[in-house]
A and B are shown apart, each in its own frame.
Chain A
Amino acid sequence: MKDDVKIMMDETRLEDISIPGIDMAEAEKYHSGSAKDYLELLELYWLDGRRRLPLLAGLLKDEDYHNYEIEVHALKSTSAKLGAAELSARAREHEAAAGRGDADFIRKDFSDLVSVYETLLGEIGGYLEKARAGEALVGQKRQARRIDAEELIRQARSALESVEDFRSRECAQKIDDLLEYQLDRDTETRLKKVREQLKMYEDDEVERLLRELLERLENGSV
């Protein structure tokens, strides 16, 4: 994420950001950092949304209102932090309903909540896509370098050691470095998945994915 939105970020100011569903004046109340930092959070929010939407539906289907309450609580506070006031207010209503055991309200209002959430994620996704414009050019230059299998294994193992030692940022840097090489499609896809999980702070999953990749590399499966 740190590089994905770099090109626009360097020039963008917080007040220049305009996304339907987001009140930047509200966002500025909580965000004292740069526009680049804000857009990093926004990308996380977008990534998190892809996970949270089916999760909420699943919890509702299972009538697991305890965990539903936890998830909408998180949605409420992160939405408020990023200036998504309308969604935050709706999530607050669902949290309150879950707290008082009002399953009727949740079921009736769920599709509306999802609709607002999906629309917002769509707007954010569109904005981030524009921000990534130009990335492809830089990407082409990066793909020029080659790496042999032994060095790839050494660097992947080093990245695993970093995350095992709770140095996630260092691990992310090592993965970014690896992604600059010319890689086979499978390795590249796996490394991109690792990078995405690092963005989401899913370090246990990062460890699992890297171990899996190393096993495949060492067995010569790729």
Chain B
Amino acid sequence: MSVCSGNCWNGLKTEAYELFFHIETCRYPEMQAAAGLESEMGNKLTILAVDDNSINLATIEQELKNKYEVVTVNSGARAVRYLNKDKPDLILLDVQMALMDGIETLKEIRTMENGAFIPVIMLTSKKDRETVLEGTKLGILDYVLKPFDGKDLMARIEKALKRAGTIPVEDAELYADVKTVQDDIQSGNIKNAILKCDEIVSLKIDEEILGRIKNARTRLRMEEVPTAERMIARVLKILEKSVKGVSALKYPISVTEMNARLLHVLSDLKEYKVRDAAQKLEELMQFEIPENLKQICVSAQEYLDEFDDGAAEELIQKAMIEYRKGLI
């Protein structure tokens, strides 16, 4: 799922065939390459480290050099000079510098074209906490206490890059985040659930998931909690398979049985039994069905949530036709 950077959601809404192709290209990187979709991670990301302490700079360089392109500068002024010509992917900024301190430097950086929205992690000591609070007003994403542990620094950089949307989030991590939203909803902590959704939508994730989280957040804001909860449950279901590696669905199903169940759904829809149809789709997804069909079931359920039973019906009919043609 994390390799998908296209718009699966639009594919679902418009043309089923395009969707099938798209999903396949997402699952198989070699097809992705053939389709002309290139990895965004081709080059090493650049980290600009700003610290007037040479030992800190050397440590940062040693810790990060295998994974990132590290540019080191020993003053705020030199950092500004660098940003005038280049744009790093993240800045590690020391708070306590003799000539131009971290906050002054950050203020300057935020006025620059190359620095206005760049993710920044502050390097600080415990006593700098007030400065960190000031830094948060200037949009820092995190802070690291000195002396820092290399693994911790690396983890925080990765987290910040994910939050900034620079690198994609792994499905397992996303699953855990979405699960937190579900837990918050279930424990009635709607405010926290909305905040967590805000955090998730800032990540670089599959657009299909992104759209669903945004919808769920809107529902939460509109106090339509049960609908939001269903949407979140579906996102978890989508993520479940890739997270667990193998199918999370337990029971095999024959082609005839699958067809019959889809016909029952269509029959419910013809009789305007929207909730029954949604329930039947839910039941169908408990079986070991093809991934593409599962995606269609989830999308059809979403149409049903919006009471757009016409679109759901059309989608299922198309799916059945494609299935008979052997395209699913």
Interface-located stretch among B72-80, B182-190, B210-218, B300-308: B72-80
Interface-located stretch among B10-18, B146-154, B243-251, B270-278: B146-154
Are B150's CB and A78's CB within 8 A? Answer: no
Q: Within B57-100, which residues are at the interface with A (CB < 8 Å)?
A: 57-59, 62-63, 71-75, 78, 82, 85-86, 96-98
In the complex the two chains form, what is the Cα distance from A47 to B57 in whole Å?
A: 14
Are A32's CB and B151's CB within 8 A? Answer: yes
> Contacts of B58 on A, CB cut-off 8 Å?
40-41, 44, 201
In the complex the two chains form, what is the Cα distance from A99 to B130 in whole Å?
A: 15
Flag whether A33 is at the interface (Cβ < 8 A).
yes
Contact of A168 among B55, B72, B86, B151 (CB under 8 A): B72
Contacts A44-B58, A77-B147, A81-B55 given; indicate if A33 touches B63 (C-beta within 8 A): yes
Flag whether B54 is at the interface (Cβ < 8 A).
yes
Closest Cβ–Cβ distance, residue A125 to chain B (whole Å): 16
> Contacts of A203 on B, CB cut-off 8 Å?
73-74, 78
Flag whether A19 is at the interface (Cβ < 8 A).
no
Binary per-residue interface labels of chain A (31-45) against chain B in the complex, 1 for a CB within 8 Å, 0 otherwise: 111000100110011
If A30-B149, A44-B55, A78-B147 are given as contacts, then 15 extra A-B residue pairs at C-beta distance below 8 Å, sorted by A number, are A33-B63, A33-B150, A37-B62, A41-B55, A48-B54, A48-B55, A74-B96, A78-B56, A81-B55, A166-B71, A166-B73, A166-B82, A199-B54, A201-B73, A202-B54
Query: Which chain B residues have a beta carbon within 8 Å of chain A's beta carbons?
Result: 52-59, 62-63, 71-75, 78, 82, 85-86, 96-98, 125, 127, 146-151
Query: Which chain A residues have a beta carbon within 8 Å of chain B's beta carbons?
Result: 29-33, 37, 40-41, 44-45, 47-48, 67, 70-71, 73-74, 77-78, 80-82, 99, 165-166, 168, 199-204
